[in-house]
Structure 1
Amino acid sequence: MTALPSSAQVIARHDEALAAPPQASDVSDLHGCIAANHFHNRSLWAQEDLARRTQAPDAEIVANKRAIDRHNQARNDAIERIDEFLLSALGLVDPATLASALPRATVPAGARLNSETAGSMLDRISILGLKIAAMREQTQRTDVDDAHRQACAERLERLIQQRADLGHCYDALLADAQAGRAYFKVYRQFKMYNDPRLNPALVAEAQ
Structure 2
Amino acid sequence: MSFSESAWEIFNQSINDYHLKDDVDTPINNSFQKNTLEWLLYAKNWIDTVQWHLEDIIRDENITPAEALKIKRRIDSSNQQRTDLVEFIDSWFLQKYENITPDYNAKINSETPAWAVDRLSILALKIYHMSLEANRDSASEEHRLNCTNKLNVLLEQKKDLSEAIDQLLFDIENGKIKMKVYKQMKMYNDENLNPVLYQNVKNDQTKS
TM-score, with normalisation over the residues of structure 2?
0.86
The answer to whether the 8 A contact 1:117-1:184 is kept is yes
- Provide, for residues 8-29 of structure 1, a one-character-per-residue CA deviation record: whole Å limited to 9, x for no partner: 1100111122111262647623
SS of 2:185's partner is coil
The residue aligned with 2:153 is 158
The answer to whether the 8 A contact 2:102-2:176 is kept is no
The residue aligned with 1:194 is 189
The answer to whether the 8 A contact 1:136-1:153 is kept is yes
Return the alpha-carbon distance in structure 2 between the equivalents of residues 92 and 47 of structure 1. Answer: 41
Q: CA deviation at 1:5?
A: 6.3
The residue aligned with 2:104 is 109
The answer to whether the 8 A contact 2:97-2:179 is kept is no
Unaligned runs of 5+ in 2: 19-25, 203-208
Q: Is 1:20 matched up with 2:27?
A: no
- Provide, for residues 22-53 of structure 1, a one-character-per-residue CA deviation record: whole Å limited to 9, x for no partner: 62647623222211111111111111111111
The answer to whether the 8 A contact 2:113-2:168 is kept is yes
Q: Is 1:41 matched up with 2:36?
A: no
Return the alpha-carbon distance in structure 2 between the equivalents of residues 204 and 8 of structure 1. Answer: 47
Unaligned runs of 5+ in 1: 94-105
* Alignment map for 1:112-151 (pairs within 5 Å): 112-151=107-146
Q: CA deviation at 1:92?
A: 6.1
The answer to whether the 8 A contact 1:90-1:178 is kept is yes
Return the alpha-carbon distance in structure 2 between the equivalents of residues 126 and 69 of structure 1. Answer: 19
The answer to whether the 8 A contact 1:196-1:203 is kept is yes
The answer to whether the 8 A contact 1:115-1:184 is kept is no
Ranges of 4+ aligned residues in structure 1 off by more than 3 Å: 24-27
Aligned length: 192
Change (3 A) 1:72 1:5: farther
The answer to whether the 8 A contact 2:10-2:41 is kept is no
Q: Which amino acid aligns with 1:40?
A: I
